[in-house]
Amino acid sequence: MRIPSAEGVGVSVENGPARVARSFAHARAVADAILYEGYLLYPYRRSSGKNRVRWQFGVIVPPAWADAHGLTDTSVAGSAEAPWQQTECLLSAPDDAAVTCRVRFLQTQRKSVEERLPEGSFHPADFVNAGERMEVGFDEAVPQEFDFRIPLRDLRAGEQKFDLRAPGREDTDPILDGEGRVVGRAVRRRWPLTAVVTLSATPPAAPGGAPHRADLLRVHIANTDAATAADAPRDDALCRSLLACHVLLGTDDGSFLSLLDPPEWAAAAARECVNVHTFPVLTGEPGDRHAVLSSPILLYDHPQVAPESPGDLHDATEIDEILSLRTLTLTDEEKREARGTDPRAAAILDRTESLSPEAFARLHGTIRTPLPESDGAGVVVAGVPVAKGSRVRLRPRTRGTDPQDRFLDGRTALVEAVMTDVDDGTHLAVTVEDDPAADLNQWYGRFRYFAPDEVEPLPAAADGEPR
């Protein structure tokens, strides 16, 4: 059946089911990172080559344009442009349960700038100088969300279709100089987007008499634009594409099953799920099974943004500390261009320049899941017990080791911990004794790691004896 079309945000989840609202709220930081992944990369200027080819994940393009360019890939890779994407996951819930579906994406907004001429008319320009600041033409984006809540029994009865429409719009804003005079104007235009979302729920193929039931929940999102010419440039096609498209699914009355680590009874059904250009993982607080996030960027169950991160840098695979330090090295002219490129770039510069020393220290490194220490007996090396506090001489292997460790051959070190990894391998965490930064590394918990066969036990240093 066809459900009436929706424009903008539909059902308010925040005022609806409590568990879904909490799960979606917890997932928002990660979902926003997906939404803006690669949106604008360091050095955050339009003139940078890496910011001239954009929108790399979750791009759902017009169907005629996709056909003309042979975009027929049906893998899980979210970096492949296509006219549709599909999510399949497993939901264990009673017949009277309801499913909430939230579709999120970006809509391109093209910003062009015009310079004000002496007689008062405006003329297209590449950029407009406004005293200490400037404004440059650039493709921005507007976030869109569509929410739907559907009874599970309706999804079991047959496909439910939703028409999505994100309307076009054009706005004109004056560009003022430092004295408040109009020196130009910025024209922002976005084109209408149309898509159809199809949801259904069917019991998966499973051996008869199974003690548990789980429905295969499917969400299919297809671009239905018919206005884009098949031979249009990519930039024009992107104006009518869903960008960084992803889905949140939630229920108050049941639970979703992990496709990465399904229960044994659902393993076969999990393998039958077909996900195209997106993949669903459990989201919300650890242990929460009331929601999934289906992302064009592969994630693990219950993903989260590092709490030390002061804000989005649009590159979630990078290290905040490095990007923040690099941003501080931009010249004043580079910063001026970045601020004029996009408001989100200006926000990154403002946030980075205001970071306190304490905030930078938090970015320097955090151990989330330290390797477990072995018992007090430590490990025996060449017949000598080695544990925390033992002294050793480093003898790194010539092969299969970090090349930098070869420079430490023969140096003495203090064992800080004896650890085991997930494969039950043993490692010695050490600090080099004559390293000027040893105290600092101890404070940070930054150690060098060696296998037991890469060290020689040494007697403990006597009191007053230099190490």
User: Which pLDDT does position 11 carry in this prediction?
Assistant: 38
pLDDT tier, 437 (very low <50, low <70, confident <90, very high otherwise): confident
364 domain residue, yes or no: no
Most confident range (mean pLDDT) of 279-283, 323-327, 400-404, 427-431 is 279-283
Classify residue 123: in a domain, yes or no: yes
Q: How does pLDDT run across 7-65, given as a tens digit for each residue?
A: 433 333 444 468 899 999 999 999 999 999 989 888 888 888 888 888 989 999 999 99
pLDDT surpasses 50 at 427: yes
For residue 102, give the nearest of 43, 173, 169, 20 by alpha carbon.
20
Q: Is residue 164 part of a domain?
A: yes
If asked whether residues 331 and 441 sit together in one domain, one would say no
Please tell me whether residues 317 and 417 are part of one structural domain.
no
Which helix (DSSP H) or strand (DSSP E) does residue 104 occupy?
strand 98-116
User: Is residue 316 pLDDT above 80, yes or no?
Assistant: no
Q: Which residues pair with 182 in a beta bridge?
A: 176
| Interstrand relation of 84-92 and 182-190 (parallel, antiparallel or unpaired) | unpaired
Mark whether 175 and 53 lie in a shared domain.
yes
Q: What is the dihedral of CA 50, 67, 237, 53, to 10 degrees?
A: 0
Regarding beta strands 455-458 and 426-432, do their DSSP bridges make them parallel or antiparallel, or are they unpaired?
unpaired
The pTM of this model reads: 0.77
Q: According to the model, what pLDDT value does residue 397 have?
A: 84
Examine residue 259 and state whether it is found in any structural domain, yes or no.
yes
- Tens of pLDDT along 87-144? 999 999 998 999 999 999 999 999 999 999 999 999 999 999 988 889 999 999 999 9
Say if 374 falls within a structural domain: no
Poorest-confidence range of 108-117, 361-370, 371-380?
A: 371-380
How many structural domains does the chain have? 2
β-strands 133-136, 255-257 pairing: unpaired
Q: Are strands 255-257 and 84-92 parallel, antiparallel or unpaired?
A: antiparallel
Structural tokens at position 434? 């004559």
Residues in the chain: 467
Residues 329 and 398 in one domain: no
Contact 418, 372 (CB under 8 A): no
- Tell me the CA distances in angstroms from 294 to 162, 265, 270, 277, 392, one per residue in order: 18, 23, 15, 10, 49
Same domain, 77 and 29: yes
Residue 5 binned pLDDT confidence (cut-offs 50, 70, 90): very low
Those residues with Cβ within 8 angstroms of residue 333's Cβ, 6 or more apart along the chain or in another chain: none
- Cβ count within 10 A of residue 380: 12
Residues 243 and 178 in one domain: yes
Task: Judge if 338 and 206 occupy the same domain.
Answer: yes
Whole-number percent of the chain with pLDDT over 70: 89
The verdict on 312 and 428 lying in the same domain is no
Same domain for 90 and 135? yes
Residue 179 lies in a domain: yes
Per-residue pLDDT band for 322 (boundaries 50, 70, 90) equals confident
Question: 274 is written with which tokens?
Answer: 């077909």
Please check whether residue 57 lies inside any domain of the structure.
Answer: yes
Kindly report each contact of residues 394-403 with a partner whose C-beta sits within 8 Å and lies 24 or more positions away, as own/partner.
394/430, 394/432, 394/450, 394/454, 394/455, 395/454, 395/455, 395/456, 396/450, 396/454, 397/451, 397/453, 397/454, 401/454
Q: Are residues 280 and 414 in the same domain?
A: no
The reply to whether 352 and 389 lie within a common domain is no
The answer as to whether 61 is a domain residue is: yes
128 strand-pairing partners:
135
Q: Range of 214's domain?
A: 2-357
* pLDDT, tens digit, 9 for 90 and up, residues 151-202: 999 999 999 999 999 999 999 999 999 888 999 999 999 999 999 999 999 9
Q: How many CA atoms lie within 13 A of 107 on its CB side?
A: 24
Q: Which of 77, 84, 91, 99 is nearest to 24 (CA)?
A: 99
Whether 466 has a pLDDT exceeding 50, the answer reads no
Q: Which of 326, 357, 388 is the last residue of a domain?
A: 357
Are residue 390 and residue 344 in the same domain, yes or no? Answer: no
**417 pLDDT more than 50:** yes
Task: Residue 185: name the closest of 219, 135, 231, 233 by CA.
Answer: 135
- The tens digit of pLDDT for each residue in 243-295 reads 999 999 999 989 999 999 999 999 999 999 999 999 999 999 999 999 999 99
Find the CATH number of the domain harbouring 394: 2.30.30
